Amino acid sequence: MNAFLLMLPAALVLAVAGLAAFAWALRSGQFEDPKGDAARILGDDDRPG
Amino acid sequence: MTALSSGCPSGLSIATEMAASQDPSAFVVSRNGHQTLDILVRGASCGGCLSKIEKAVGALPGVDVARLNLSIGRLQVAWTGSLKPKLVIETITGLGYGASAFEPAEADSASAKTERRLFTALVVAGVATAGVMFLSEPLWFGSDLPDDTRTILRLISAVVAIPAAAFAGLPFYTSALASIRSRQLNMDVPISLAVILALGLSVVETINGGRHAFFDAAVMLLFFLLIGRVLDARLRRQAYSAANALAAMQTASATRLRADGAAEAIKASDVRAGDTLLIAAGERLAVNAEVVSGTSEADLRLVTGEVEPAPTFPGQVIHAGAINLSAPLRVRALARADQSLMADVARLLEAGEQKKSAYRKLADKAAEIYVPQVHAMAALGFVGWLAFGATTAQAAFVAITVLIITCPCALALAAPLVQVVAAGALFRRGIYLSSGDALERLATVDHVVFDKTGTLTLGDPVLRREGLDAGVLKDAARLARASHHPFSRAVARAAGTGPVADEVTEYPGQGVSGFVDGRFARLGSASFVGVERGTGSELWYAVEGEALRVMHFDDTIRADAAETVARLKRMGLTVELLSGDSSSRVARAASAAGISDWRGEATPVSKAERLAALQAEGRKVLMVGDGLNDAAALAGAHASIAPGGAVDVSRLASDCVFSGDSLSAVADIIEVARTARRRMRENFGLAAIYNLLAVPVALAGWVTPLIAALAMSGSSAVVTLNALRLAGRRALPESP
pLDDT in tens, B548-579: 888 888 777 888 889 999 999 999 999 999 98
CA distance B408 to B686: 12
Beta carbons of B643 and B657 less than 8 angstroms apart:
yes
pLDDT at position B383, please? 93
Which domain, by its residues, includes A8? 1-27
**Has residue B336 got a pLDDT over 50?**
yes
Residue of chain A whose alpha carbon sits nearest to that of B124 = A19
Residues of B with CB under 8 A from a CB of A: 46-47, 50-51, 68-72, 116, 119-120, 123-124, 127, 130-131, 134, 152, 156, 160
Q: Tell whether A35 is within 8 A of chain B (Cβ).
A: yes
Instruction: Give the pLDDT mean for B97-110.
Output: 70
Q: How would residue B358 be classed by pLDDT, with cut points 50, 70 and 90? A: low
Q: How would residue B166 be classed by pLDDT, with cut points 50, 70 and 90? A: very high
Distance from the Cα of B47 to chain A's closest Cα (Å) equals 4
Instruction: Give the pLDDT mean for B611-619.
Output: 89
Instruction: Give the pLDDT mean for B463-467.
Output: 78
DSSP B547-588: --EEEEEE-PBPTTHHHHHHHHHHTT-EEEEE-SS-HHHHHH
Q: Do A42 and B47 touch (CB under 8 A)?
A: yes
Assess if residue A8 is contained within a domain: yes
A15, A33, A40 ranked by CB distance to B131: nearest: A15
Q: Tell whether A8 is within 8 A of chain B (Cβ).
A: yes
Q: Do A39 and B116 touch (CB under 8 A)?
A: no
Assess if residue A23 is contained within a domain: yes
A8, A23, A39 ranked by CB distance to B70: nearest: A39
Q: How would residue B448 be classed by pLDDT, with cut points 50, 70 and 90? A: very high
Q: Tell whether A46 is within 8 A of chain B (Cβ).
A: no
Instruction: Name the residue among B251, B183, B266, B190 with its Cα closest to residue B221.
Output: B190
Assess if residue A10 is contained within a domain: yes
Beta carbons of B579 and B454 less than 8 angstroms apart:
no
**Has residue A26 got a pLDDT over 80?**
yes
Q: How would residue B32 be classed by pLDDT, with cut points 50, 70 and 90? A: confident
Q: What is the pLDDT of residues B296-310, one digit of tens each?
A: 888 877 677 677 778
**Has residue B734 got a pLDDT over 50?**
no
Q: What domains are defined for chain B?
A: 3-104 (3.30.70.100), 272-335 (2.70.150.10), 419-459+558-674 (3.40.50.1000), 462-554 (3.40.1110.10)
Distance from the Cα of B734 to chain A's closest Cα (Å) equals 22
Indicate the helix (H) or strand (E) that contains B591: helix B583-593
pLDDT at position B209, please? 76
**Has residue B230 got a pLDDT over 50?**
yes
**Has residue B70 got a pLDDT over 50?**
yes
A22, A33, A45 ranked by CB distance to B69: nearest: A33
pLDDT at position B1, please? 34
Q: What is the pLDDT of residues B121-152, one digit of tens each?
A: 999 999 999 888 888 888 888 777 788 888 88
**Residues of B annotated catalytic, as ranges:** 451
| Preferred mutation among A33, A41, A47 to probe B, highest tally of B CBs within 10 A | A33
For residues B460 and B598, which has the higher predicted lDDT (pLDDT)? B598
Residue of chain B whose alpha carbon sits nearest to that of A45 = B51
Instruction: Give the pLDDT mean for B311-320.
Output: 84
Q: Do A39 and B71 touch (CB under 8 A)?
A: no
pLDDT at position B13, please? 45
pLDDT at position A42, please? 79
Assess if residue A47 is contained within a domain: no
| Preferred mutation among A35, A37, A44 to probe B, highest tally of B CBs within 10 A | A35
A·B CB contacts under 8 A = 49
pLDDT at position A45, please? 63
**Has residue B629 got a pLDDT over 60?**
yes
B51, B123, B160 ranked by CB distance to A22: nearest: B123
Least confident of B19-28, B343-352, B360-369: B343-352
**Partners of residue A11 in chain B, C-beta under 8 Å:** 131, 134
**Has residue B320 got a pLDDT over 70?**
yes
Contacts for B602 with CB less than 8 Å, ≥ 6 apart: B578, B579, B580, B610, B629
CA distance B323 to B560: 27
Distance from the Cα of B191 to chain A's closest Cα (Å) equals 25
pLDDT at position B138, please? 81
Instruction: Give the pLDDT mean for B203-216.
Output: 84
pLDDT at position B338, please? 65
Instruction: Give the pLDDT mean for B17-40.
Output: 71
pLDDT at position B15, please? 38
% chain B with pLDDT above 90 = 12
**Partners of residue A31 in chain B, C-beta under 8 Å:** 119
Contacts for B539 with CB less than 8 Å, ≥ 6 apart: B476, B487, B488, B491, B511, B523, B524, B525, B550, B551, B553
Beta carbons of B640 and B653 less than 8 angstroms apart:
yes
Contacts for B272 with CB less than 8 Å, ≥ 6 apart: B333, B336
CA distance B723 to B676: 8
Question: For the range B377-383, what are the long-range contacts, defined as Cβ-Cβ under 8 Å and sequence gap of 24 or more?
Answer: B377/B402, B377/B406, B377/B695, B377/B699, B378/B402, B378/B403, B380/B699, B381/B698, B381/B699
pLDDT at position B535, please? 62
Assess if residue A9 is contained within a domain: yes
Q: What are phi and psi of B29, to 5 degrees?
A: -120, 135
Report the domain count for chain A.
Answer: 1
Q: What is the pLDDT of residues B237-257, one digit of tens each?
A: 776 666 565 555 554 677 888
Distance from the Cα of A45 to chain B's closest Cα (Å) equals 9
For residues B26 and B633, which has the higher predicted lDDT (pLDDT)? B633
Q: What is the DSSP letter of A41?
A: T
Rounded alpha-carbon distances, angstroms, from residue B396 to B197, B379, B384: 10, 9, 11
Residue B97 is which amino acid? Y
Q: How would residue B355 be classed by pLDDT, with cut points 50, 70 and 90? A: low
Q: Tell whether A14 is within 8 A of chain B (Cβ).
A: no
DSSP B371-429: HHHHHHHHHHHHHHHHHTT--HHHHHHHHHHHHHHT--HHHHHHHHHHHHHHHHHHHTT
**Has residue B69 got a pLDDT over 60?**
yes
Residue of chain B whose alpha carbon sits nearest to that of A28 = B116
| Dihedral sign (CA B480, B296, B247, B82) | positive
| Preferred mutation among B38, B51, B113 to probe A, highest tally of A CBs within 10 A | B51
For B209, left (φ over 0), alpha (ψ -120 to 50), or beta?
Answer: left
Residue of chain B whose alpha carbon sits nearest to that of A34 = B71
